[in-house]
Amino acid sequence: MGAVKEPLRALEWVGGADGHLRLLDQTRLPGCVEAIECRDVDSLWDAIRMLRVRGAPAIGVAASYGLVLGLARAVHLEPDAFLERMRELSSRLRACRPTGVNLFACLDRLEAAARQQSGSARRKHAALLDAARALEAENAAACEAMARYGAERILDGWGVLTHCNTGPLATAGAGTALGVLVHAHRQGKRIRVYACETRPLLQGARITTLELRNAGLDVVLLCDSAAAQVMAEGRVQAAVVGADRIAANGDVANKIGTLGLAVNAAARGIPFYVVAPIATIDPALPSGSAIPIEERDPGEVTELCGGRIAPADVPVYNPAFDVTPHGHVTAIVTEAGVLEPPYGAAIRRALQSRTAN
């Protein structure tokens, strides 16, 4: 397994109020580890849209810094004009990816911070940067807490299935589902992680394997289609995934493929854990059926490594997410503790305790 390495970081704000955002270009992993410097909103919007930065928590933090970036030249405006410009820019950033809710929650927090900050546009802009930094730090702290809570559910000797990428590169900290697995490993539990490759964009093959090996874990890569057989063979004792949005009843939108895994896990009595910060919960949505599902470009399915794998002009259905009904979710691990069914009540309590803090 080799030496344990420092985890790669998804993003880093460089400098002060007139600084810029450095992003690792995750579309080029694992072959190429290269950062891009985002100095304006256009480049950041493109980076989020093209999944150069991805993972609901990381997107939320990146978009927050995007608001700071986009308003750097607006500090000479009157305060009201600054706020008006902020609202326009925030709307634009919200439209970038419709399924994840952290993006909206983060931008809400930033907008509130600027409104509440009295005085000049420059002071409001400084408040935005402070709020973005606070969100980044909060996400890192939330990852630590989720890792601790979640690792209690993982036992020595287990095989654990995971999907997509939910490690440091999907967050501003140690990750969500992968954070749990790395923490369990550091507790001395011998676990083997089965990582689904996660078509179409292969975040599991490209990024999860990289992060887990860097952290010293035993990882086995498989095609998404092999997960059911891996369960049938008794190789895994739990499945652990992240989330992009969780409805008030506990239904979970996550990377396409999650639902199929959850149904198979439920059919075999394999515990299915979702690990996500409280900011992933959208109490305004009564159930998962109201979550908008982003549909992405057919080329993601028909082109691979520059080659074409399907006849020209074949129609493609490429939903980026699916919705797992709460009945298939054993528990939701948050930084406020582990939520268990019935989720409606558990989620209300978690949100209230958070408001109270």
35 near a copy of itself, judged by CB under 8 A: no
158 near a copy of itself, judged by CB under 8 A: no
From residue 65, alpha-carbon distances to 35, 152, 193, 354 in Å are 16, 34, 33, 24
One-letter amino acid identity for 118?
Answer: S
160 near a copy of itself, judged by CB under 8 A: no
Which residue blocks in 208-256 are alpha helix, DSSP H? Answer: 209-214, 227-232
> What is the C-alpha to C-alpha distance for residues 138 and 33, in angstroms, rounded to an integer?
26
CB of 227 to a copy of itself, least distance (A): 6
307 near a copy of itself, judged by CB under 8 A: yes
| Residue window 191-220: x/- pattern of binding to a copy of itself, with contact defined by CB under 8 A | ---x-xxxxx-x--xx--xx--x-----xx
> What is the C-alpha to C-alpha distance for residues 204 and 190, in angstroms, rounded to an integer?
21
CB of 55 to a copy of itself, least distance (A): 17
190 near a copy of itself, judged by CB under 8 A: no
CB of 277 to a copy of itself, least distance (A): 24
CB of 327 to a copy of itself, least distance (A): 11
Q: Which stretch binds a copy of itself (CB under 8 A): 60-68, 126-134, 226-234, 273-281?
A: 226-234
Q: β-strand 252-255 against 321-324: which pairing, if any?
A: antiparallel
> What is the C-alpha to C-alpha distance for residues 254 and 15, in angstroms, rounded to an integer?
34
Q: Which is catalytic among the residues 25, 46, 108, 244? A: 244
CB of 333 to a copy of itself, least distance (A): 23
33 near a copy of itself, judged by CB under 8 A: no
DSSP letter assigned to residue 163: -
For 271, the 3-state DSSP assignment is coil
The answer to whether residue 282 is catalytic is no
Q: Give the footprint of a copy of itself on residues 231-290 (CB under 8 A).
A: 232, 256-257, 259-260, 263-264, 266-267
Our CB check for a copy of itself shows the closer of 77 and 266 to be 266
Task: Name residue, tokens 């995934």.
Answer: 241
Q: Is residue 127 within 8 Å of 111, Cβ to Cβ?
A: no
Answer positive or negative: Cα dihedral of 348, 148, 178, 103. positive
Residues labelled as active-site residues: 244
